Amino acid sequence: MKLRAYAKINLSLRVFDKRPDGFHNLESVMQSVSLFDLITLSPLSSGIEVICDDPNVPSGRENIAYRAAELYFRTQSTEHRTQSTGIKIEIKKNIPMAAGLAGGSADAAAVLFGLNQMMTGDRRLATGDLLKLGARIGADVPFCLTGGTCLVKGKGEIVEKQSPWPKTYFVLVCPEIQVSSKWAYEEFDNMHLNVLEGIKNDLEAVVVSKHEVVAEIKEKLVSLGCSEAQMSGSGPSVFGAVRHKTEAENVFNKIKDDFPRSFLVETVDQGIELV
């Protein structure tokens, strides 16, 4: 089974109080975009095996896709009192790591979705139960399972599907740095930031304070013709919005030499797709 696991961007991100579980309450409009990792699932007699074309991606329990498979099998074994079979997970990585694009969460969501599709009858989990499993794996996994345009609340477990965003093209730029989500949220707490007028991502000021290149990319995208630009998630990826494809291609061609990890993407209305 082959699946596309689509990246997400945050069209808005508001960060509120810290929860007892260590996460923050948030409110975000998330949008799936056409950049994707390709996940191939093959049955094994037992065990979980993860193979990725990016050597920086861990292959054991440190990999969120591995943990997703482990949790899914454990749930099946508990509910049906049987020993579930194993799975081989092959990941062709296109979504940059630690970039605010939910690449790992998308991979985990694809594994949960794919394993569930392989089940028959009452062994297949209902959508709501699958979303609950996803929330136990990572805050962005429930959205990645749902996809499209969603209003996301809580720590990410409350996902409300919205009407599809009008077809929009984005020039997505990922500088050659990584930003830890854990660090970004901790710094947000330490800096005691107030919500700034006109800023749609509350974590942006935190990341810019350490990585000025994020602000530079925003300015560059707007100067090249994007209607607006902002950081996605905990960064450092920045996206610039353009309504027409030809304009987006023009911006992309002008910025890709300075920032090789640039992508021309568009809105999609799903998080996972069978191919």
d(CA 226, CA 218): 9
The alpha carbon of residue 81 and the mean position of all alpha carbons in its chain are separated, in whole angstroms, by 33
The alpha carbon of residue 68 and the mean position of all alpha carbons in its chain are separated, in whole angstroms, by 15
Q: Within the chain, where are the H helices?
A: 64-80, 103-118, 127-137, 141-146, 181-191, 204-210, 213-223, 245-255
Cis ω before 236 (30° cut-off from 0): yes
The residue behind tokens 């065990």 is 47
Catalytic residues: 8, 140
Start-to-end CA span in the chain (Å): 8
Beta bridge partners of 92: 38
Instruction: For residue 265, give both structure tokens.
Output: 């993407």
d(CA 217, CA 105): 25
**Secondary structure letter of residue 193 according to DSSP:** P
Cα Dmax for the chain: 60
For residue 257, give every residue at least 6 positions away whose Cβ sits within 8 Å of its Cβ, in sequence order, or none.
none
Instruction: For residue 65, give both structure tokens.
Output: 């896709």
Q: CA neighbours within 13 Å on the CB side: how many for 231?
A: 27
